[in-house]
Chain A
Amino acid sequence: MKCDLCDAEATVHETQIINGQVRVRRLCEQHAAEQGLTGVASQPTSNTGATVVLSMNKKATGLRCQSCGLSYAAFRQNGLLGCSACYEAFEDKLTPLIERAHQGGTHHIGKTPARMLAAAQGGDVQAIERVLGDARERAERVALLRQQLEDALTNEQYERAATLRDELRRSEAEEQGPEGEPA
């Protein structure tokens, strides 16, 4: 539904009941803010002798991907993100969702695009970081792999441990670059 004052989507609905007359205003976030109608849905008030019920459209929180324009609320509704940049825009909110859906997994471990990696290895630190992440992310990934390896050994899952060891070696090799030089 459109805002009463512009073409943007209305996210705040204000219902005023004065002497039995109902007046409804629908405003977008920006115009609602200008009119002082922000914050949590207010309690019915009667300071002007009228009953005012302000309801925030719960579907729309302010969070929005700047790249494709998808709101976080819209994502929650249909479960699909709009573009790659949504992952950064919604990172804080997505992380717990991803964690729940993937047995606690929050960091990618595994394949990296081969050509992208090869190109990065010939480039500078920023190029490598775009593929493998910054030093902190890489350290986190190695720590996760070590943890999984330890768990496998504790549970006597030796074949799995061997796979994880290969994975650790591959991770290290990726950072070294093709000539074995630290990138």
Chain B
Amino acid sequence: MNTGGLGQPDGRGSPGNGPNGGGHDPEAGRAADVVISSRVRLARNLAGFRFPNRAPASERTAVVVKLKPIVLGARLSPQAEWVDLTATTPMHRASLVEERLISRHHAMGKAGEPMHGRAVAIGLPDRRLSIMINEEDHLRLQAIRPGFDLSGVVEQIDRVDDAIEQKADYAFSPRFGYLSACPTNVGTGVRLSVMLHLPALKITRELEKVKRAADDLGLTVRGSYGEGTEATGDFYQISNQTTIGKSEAVLLREMETEIIPSVIAYERTARERLVKGGRRGMEDQAWRAVGLLLHARLLSTEEATKMLSRIRLGIALGLIPGLRLPLIQQLLIASQPAHIQMAIGQELTQEQRREARAALLRSKLGEAFATKRPPPRLIRPGSAEPRPEPPVGPSNRPQEPGPSHPNDGDGREL
């Protein structure tokens, strides 16, 4: 297969590999200097029920009644949170979208579509498994992990799928495989996605090449965070489009050993070139972003995302000692609009959100630096903004950001 000159397949994330010396962090997963997260989603439907878009409210409810005990009884994670989306506020649903636990479609529905019978089961404590009920299909099973680990999520979701199928009859045809409401998901029903941070390819204008190569291979490249095609913060998601005619194993192999490693290697090479061409400039960009977030009083989501992206690149290049990649990932989610409001506990105006976002980022970044020796360049005697107190111990470590979601349902086992 032609990988479009994306470089050598490499990039399985060994720590000293490429210019990611400062970025290696076991918590952030493999190849975390470039890969944010790996995700798999399976589309499944029950035999004998119309697909959710065609089913009246009573039938959608019947699907929930049937699936709830099956999903919760399968004990798919140590614990589970069952969220009846019909009983949630739009803000709560939006925060679940920001966590990528439910889709936008599941949160709002298409225009005029009722919310009847929509639910999601979330695996606890790590919130990395989610099972959407009555989204476009009766079941959407999803597993997500930090870093580059498609095999890991595929193995996990396969077990979840088998456990549910023990008790539920799936709509399946020998010819078309797992039947889905939209024929673009039919067959395996598998969507593999990898979220990548590709700032260097953006700067060097090589991203178009990646997009074209991906397109030839039946993959799509989309921006994550931000609307439309423009990716705020240079976060991109690459996913397979083809779901029928190739087995799960082949789809996984293509993504995991052929395509994504090439993109990772390509991004790393571009980063190396950028650093060679002007290390001081790269350092300056990263630290300016730190400075802005440490002092800004009003921040839009877009600006926060852009700054966090620059800081992320700085950490990955080893230019910002003292910060870790998982913190940046947490902050990217915590600074989204619904998370800001959930943390405060009420709806806020745009201005209030900007203020709260700036305060959150100041405090979290301040705490993170306080646990390390403060970088000398940040100490400005007589600064109007006193830096946080020096470290007082492990309790000073950044807390898990984001709100704890009220458990709407039975916190039963999944």
Interface residues of A (CB under 8 A from B): 68, 70, 78-84, 87-88, 94, 97-98, 101-116, 129-134, 137-138, 144, 148, 155, 157, 159-160, 163-164, 166-167
Contacts and interface: CB of A to CB of B under 8 A. Distances in A.
Given A84-B47, A163-B250, A105 B244 contact: yes
Interface string B231-249: 0000000000111111111
Interface string B52-72: 011000000000000000000
B174 interface: yes
Contacts of A159: 253, 257
A103 B187 CA distance: 13
Contacts of B245: 102-109, 144
B172 A155 contact: no
A80 B244 contact: no
A116 B249 contact: no
Contacts of A163: 247, 249-250, 253
- A87, A102, A104, A115, most chain B CB atoms within 10 A: A102
A84 B183 CA distance: 11
Contacts of A111: 158, 161, 177-178, 188, 247-248
Contacts of A68: 50, 54
B262 interface: no
A110 B174 contact: no
Interface of B: 1, 45, 47, 49-51, 53-54, 136, 158, 161-162, 165-166, 169-179, 181-184, 186-188, 218, 241-250, 253-254, 257-258
B54 A83 contact: yes
B51 A115 contact: no
Contacts of B188: 108, 110-111
Contacts, number: 148
A56 to B, nearest CB: 25
B184 A110 contact: no
B247 A155 contact: no
A110 B183 contact: no
B136 A132 contact: no
A112 B250 contact: no
A97 B183 contact: yes
A102 B218 CA distance: 8
Contacts of B181: 80-82
Contacts of B172: 112-113, 116, 131
A91 B344 CA distance: 52
Identify the 6 closest CB pairs spanning chains A and B, nearest first: A105-B245, A108-B177, A133-B174, A82-B54, A110-B247, A84-B171
Contacts of B174: 108, 129-134, 137-138
A110 B248 contact: yes
Nearest to A130: B174
B175 A167 contact: no
A148 B1 CA distance: 12
B51 to A, nearest CB: 6
B170 A116 contact: yes
A84 B173 contact: yes
A139 to B, nearest CB: 12
A2 B233 CA distance: 51
A37 B54 CA distance: 31
9 contacts: A84-B45, A87-B173, A103-B218, A129-B174, A132-B174, A138-B174, A148-B246, A159-B253, A159-B257
B257 A114 contact: no
Given A103-B242, A107-B175, A108-B176, A114 B162 contact: yes
Given A94-B183, A109-B247, 17 more contacts: A80-B136, A101-B184, A107-B244, A107-B245, A108-B178, A111-B188, A111-B247, A111-B248, A114-B166, A116-B169, A130-B174, A137-B175, A157-B1, A160-B1, A160-B253, A163-B249, A163-B253
B253 A98 contact: no
Given A87-B173, A131-B174, A137-B175, A102 B187 contact: yes
